[in-house]
Amino acid sequence: MIAASREGSSANPRVPGPVVRSGYREFAGVRTRVLEVGPRPTGRQRRSRRSRTDRPRLVLLHGYCDSADTWSPVLGELAAAGHEAIAVDLPGSGEADALRPGPILAQLDAFTSALVEEESTRGGVVLVGNSLGGTMSLRAAQNPRLPVSGIVSIAAPGFVDTWLIRTVARYPLPLRVASLPLPIPSFVVRAVAEQVVPRLLYADAEAAERTHVRRFTELFPDYRSATDRLREARRLVAELEQAYELDRVSAPLLVVACGKDRLVSSASGRQLHSLVPHSRLMVRQDWGHCPQLDDPAAVADLLTYFVAASGTSGQVSRQGEAAAG
């Protein structure tokens, strides 16, 4: 599935610096917003393998209820280092088209496959996914037809039972309250979200950027919106039970586990590492669930080392791993 391109030329005002381009494209029939750094390809270059480069392209996938903006600080760092990278809004998130009825992961698979196929026309593709984006990166790597050169999985869920999985799966209190005739004011929902979001996403809630926190709180303008998201999350948790066939992952894999992750414990990353014998594991005790927000410079450095290794030998070298650590 080749994507249709409708990219604009203006910079995204929410993204710092002029080097990050914003536009709109279509993958697998889903119109979405993209953030991109590196040389601007023409429409013909996107469709031709003659313009392939030696350096792999980084494709950055965000987590549930997030958007491509979560990667904007990392994109700036990657641009300064001379990398080509793209971040997208996944279906149902950010400015992308809404999810259709039916299984969620299947829709995200189709979208990710189309994205990888188009980006692969210009070089090898290294998938970098945080949380749900990590799941989608691993699932793409399970598909032998997709040209995936490497995977960096950051805090992917579904390997170790956590309080989040248990809470969402067991019909949480907000869903039970939603069925009662008790209108909850919107300002209460927003106030709760403003307190909870920084503690869930960051290693240090006090260091949370207001612009990034606002992106999440805007998803919950009222109580009905919050309960709708929770219902969708329950469907997603149920699908995660059969999301992985890790014996089919042959590309180089770097697993990143975060010690201050309050959503997906570092034990989940260790379990993923144990299930993929050729993978490498990096544990950062000072990172939270979204390290691209905690320390974008360090995450960009990590990706630089990984790309250098996977782009030259097709394997993650021990030297590169040590430097990333």
Residues 80-110: tens digit of each pLDDT: 999 999 999 999 999 999 999 999 999 999 9
Q: Is 39 helix (H, G, I), strand (E, B) or coil?
A: coil
* 182 located within any domain: no
pLDDT tens figures, 262-273: 889 999 999 999
For 222, left (φ over 0), alpha (ψ -120 to 50), or beta?
Answer: beta
Q: What is the pLDDT, as a whole number, of residue 45?
A: 52
Query: Confidence band (pLDDT; 50, 70, 90) for 7?
Result: very low
Alpha helix locations (H) across the chain? 43-47, 72-80, 104-119, 132-141, 163-169, 173-178, 186-201, 210-217, 223-240, 266-275, 291-294, 296-312, 318-324
Nearest residue to 303 via CA among 127, 65, 124, 51: 127
Range of the domain at 154: 21-37+54-162+244-310
The domain that holds 137 is classified in CATH as 3.40.50.1820
Q: What are phi and psi of 250, to 5 degrees?
A: -115, -15
pTM summary value: 0.82
Query: Confidence band (pLDDT; 50, 70, 90) for 217?
Result: confident
* 146 located within any domain: yes
* 9 located within any domain: no
Q: What is the pLDDT, as a whole number, of residue 127?
A: 98
Query: In whole numbers, what is the pLDDT of the chain averaged over residues?
Result: 80
Copy the structure tokens of residue 90.
């996944």
* 176 located within any domain: no
* 139 located within any domain: yes
Measured distance CA(279)–CA(267) in Å, rounded: 15
Query: Confidence band (pLDDT; 50, 70, 90) for 226?
Result: confident
Measured distance CA(293)–CA(202) in Å, rounded: 7
Q: How many beta carbons lie within 10 A of that of residue 26, not counting itself? A: 16
Q: Is 188 helix (H, G, I), strand (E, B) or coil?
A: helix
* 222 located within any domain: no
* 185 located within any domain: no
* 148 located within any domain: yes
Q: Give me the number of domains the chain comprises.
A: 1
